[in-house]
């Protein structure tokens, strides 16, 4: 039964990580930018939720109406001001720029909130549903549900809108996208906005399920990169599947063996998969057709 509980916990937590990782992989798919700041962006989202929920008394889920637009604007602005001017060595330079963005945000958060661990508290944080001996924490069920809804919205945007088609086209061939009249800069800026916005939503859920401070971003970005690499860089659906697989493995190992080994296995699985499938579990050998 412990294994079943581990699988349930892994699936529920995997939904949350899928949400946080989808923004990272989406941005890479369109721009070939490794958004090293995604971890701290999640934490920024968590802090924004913390401020609105704790100091103003807004329900964390309602704060998304404020935090997602703010974070979208942040992502859009970062692209237009810092990434668009990069003309050469784009992959490396953009990685450095996003690292710098991460350091600046982390510094600001440290300055404002200090290093004390905080958590977004809600009335439903400790309640849960029991089915036999299995436990389904309400907060994780809500987190999983919101992740599913937001990823569903992302699916509709990607596959049922003109913007989504232009985004998928840009992902596959930037030059051809330009030649049919797609404004690649606008698509890229919007994509980074969406990625950061998803980070805000992920941050809200993360902040309700774990205590955090600015330094928590390092553990987060490590895990998100593992998930995105395993799923295949640029593949949103790969990231979702990899998030659930990895969290299930980690949680099962944690309950049947030890939490320490649960985290270690996370990275051992990455090493093993990359030995046999360098493109990740669901990625193509070439992430982008040129």
Partner 1 sequence: MLVFGDVFAGYGGGDILRGVDLVVEEHSLTCVVGPNGAGKSTLMKLVSGLLHPRVGKLEFNGTPIGKASPRQIVKQGIVQVMQARNLFPELTVRENVELGAFLVSDSSLVRKRYDEASEMFPIVKDRAKDRAGALSGGQQRMVEFARALMTDPVLVCLDEPSMGLEPRAARTIYQSIRTMHAAGRSILLVEQNVRAGLELATHGVVMENGRVRLEGTGMEVLNNPQMRTLYLGGTIEEGKVASSTGAHAAAPPGAP
Identify the CA nearest to 118 among candidates 215, 47, 212: 212
Q: Give whichever of 115 and 181 is closer to partner 1, judged by the CB atom.
A: 181
- Tell me how far apart the alpha carbons of residues 117 and 213 are, in angstroms, rounded to a whole number: 5
| Shortest spacing between CB 255 and partner 1, in angstroms | 39
Contact 212, 34 (CB under 8 A): no
Q: Give whichever of 116 and 290 is closer to partner 1, judged by the CB atom.
A: 290
Give the helix ranges, DSSP H, for 210-257: 216-231, 236-256
User: Hey, what are 219's tokens?
Assistant: 């553990």
Residue 269 CB neighbour total at 10 angstroms = 18
- Tell me how far apart the alpha carbons of residues 129 and 126 are, in angstroms, rounded to a whole number: 10
Instruction: Write the binding mask 145 to 164 for partner 1: x where contact by CB under 8 A, - elsewhere.
Output: -----------------x--
- Our finding on whether 173 is near partner 1 (CB under 8 A) is yes
Q: Which of 57, 115, 123, 181 binds partner 1 (CB under 8 A)?
A: 181
- Dihedral (Cα; 153, 158, 163, 166), 10-degree rounding: 170
Cα–Cα separations (whole angstroms), residue 210 to 43, 179, 257: 11, 46, 22
- Our finding on whether 183 is near partner 1 (CB under 8 A) is yes
Q: Which of 70, 82, 99, 168 binds partner 1 (CB under 8 A)?
A: 168
Binding footprint of partner 1, residue count (CB under 8 A): 18
Q: Which of 67, 147, 166, 209 binds partner 1 (CB under 8 A)?
A: 166
- Our finding on whether 289 is near partner 1 (CB under 8 A) is yes
Interface segment toward partner 1; rule CB under 8 A; list 101-109, 122-130, 175-183, 200-208? 175-183
Q: Which of 54, 84, 148, 178 binds partner 1 (CB under 8 A)?
A: 178
- Our finding on whether 85 is near partner 1 (CB under 8 A) is no
Interface segment toward partner 1; rule CB under 8 A; list 6-14, 31-39, 125-133, 170-178? 170-178
- In degrees rounded to 5, what are phi and psi of residue 128? -155, 165
Q: Which residues pair with 137 in a beta bridge?
A: 128
Q: Which residues pair with 131 in a beta bridge?
A: 134
Q: Give whichever of 165 and 257 is closer to partner 1, judged by the CB atom.
A: 165
| Shortest spacing between CB 177 and partner 1, in angstroms | 8
- Tell me how far apart the alpha carbons of residues 223 and 17 are, in angstroms, rounded to a whole number: 9
- Our finding on whether 219 is near partner 1 (CB under 8 A) is no
Q: Give whichever of 102 and 189 is closer to partner 1, judged by the CB atom.
A: 189
Q: Give whichever of 30 and 105 is closer to partner 1, judged by the CB atom.
A: 30
| Shortest spacing between CB 87 and partner 1, in angstroms | 9
Q: Give whichever of 170 and 213 is closer to partner 1, judged by the CB atom.
A: 170
Helix (H) or strand (E) holding 128: strand 128-131
Interface segment toward partner 1; rule CB under 8 A; list 11-19, 179-187, 195-203, 208-216? 179-187
**Which runs of E-coded beta strand occur in 80-155?**
128-131, 134-137
- Tell me how far apart the alpha carbons of residues 173 and 120 are, in angstroms, rounded to a whole number: 42
* Residues in contact with partner 1 by the rule CB under 8 A: 162, 165-166, 168-169, 172-173, 175-183, 289-290
């Amino acid at each position: 039964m412990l294994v079943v509980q581990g699988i349930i916990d892994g699936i529920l937590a995997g939904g949350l990580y899928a949400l946080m990782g989808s923004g990272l992989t989406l941005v890479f798919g369109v721009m070939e930018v490794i958004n090293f700041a995604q971890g701290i962006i999640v934490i920024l989202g968590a802090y924004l939720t913390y401020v609105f929920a704790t100091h103003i008394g807004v329900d964390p889920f309602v704060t998304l109406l404020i935090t997602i637009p703010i974070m979208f604007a942040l992502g859009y602005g970062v692209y237009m001001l810092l990434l668009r001017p990069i003309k050469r060595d784009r992959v490396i330079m953009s990685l450095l720029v996003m690292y710098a963005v991460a350091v600046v945000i982390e510094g600001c958060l440290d300055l404002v909130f200090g290093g004390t661990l905080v958590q977004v508290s809600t009335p439903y944080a400790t309640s849960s549903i029991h089915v036999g001996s299995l436990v389904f924490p309400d907060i994780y069920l809500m987190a999983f549900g919101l992740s599913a809804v937001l990823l569903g919205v992302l699916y509709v945007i990607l596959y049922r809108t003109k913007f989504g088609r232009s985004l998928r086209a840009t992902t596959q061939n930037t030059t051809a996208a330009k030649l049919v009249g797609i404004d690649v800069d606008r698509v890229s800026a919007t994509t980074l906005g969406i990625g950061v916005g998803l980070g805000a939503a992920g941050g809200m859920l993360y902040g309700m399920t774990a205590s955090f401070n600015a330094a928590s971003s390092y553990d987060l970005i490590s895990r998100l990169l593992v998930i995105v690499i395993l799923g295949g860089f640029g593949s949103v659906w790969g990231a979702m599947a990899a998030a659930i697989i990895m969290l299930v493995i980690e949680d099962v190992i944690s309950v049947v063996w030890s939490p320490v080994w649960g985290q270690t296995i996370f990275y051992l699985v990455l090493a093993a998969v990359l030995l046999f499938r360098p493109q990740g579990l669901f990625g193509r050998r070439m992430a982008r057709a040129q």
